[in-house]
Amino acid sequence: MKPPPDLIKGEEEYKIETITSHKKWGQGYQYLIKWKGYPISNNIWEPVSGFKNAQEILTEYQLIHHLL
């Protein structure tokens, strides 16, 4: 059973399990997100703006992959 999203400031938000990949997108990058409790078929590409409440996960990934 898939977990429901959290409600943060009236907006639905899903928990990120991990970032599995990245690609160049315009002047920046997009990141392939694996959602916690969901199959990989639900993975989606998100820009940096999609990490409002998951900045730690993004920063850790960027440091490991020398993107900062």
Sorted by where each begins, the domain ranges of the chain are 16-64
**Is the CATH number 3.65.10.10 carried by domain 16-64?**
no
Burial of 15 (0-12, 13-18, 19+ CB in 10 A): middle
Q: Name, in order, each residue with C-beta under 8 angstroms of 16's C-beta and a sequence gap of 6 or more.
A: 33, 34, 35, 36, 51, 54, 57
pTM attached to this predicted model: 0.84
Question: Which range (4-13, 38-47, 55-64) has the least confidence?
Answer: 4-13
Name the residue among 48, 16, 44 with its Cα closest to residue 29.
48
Confidence of residue 65 (pLDDT cuts 50, 70, 90): very high
Structure confidence at residue 13 (pLDDT): 80
Confidence of residue 8 (pLDDT cuts 50, 70, 90): confident
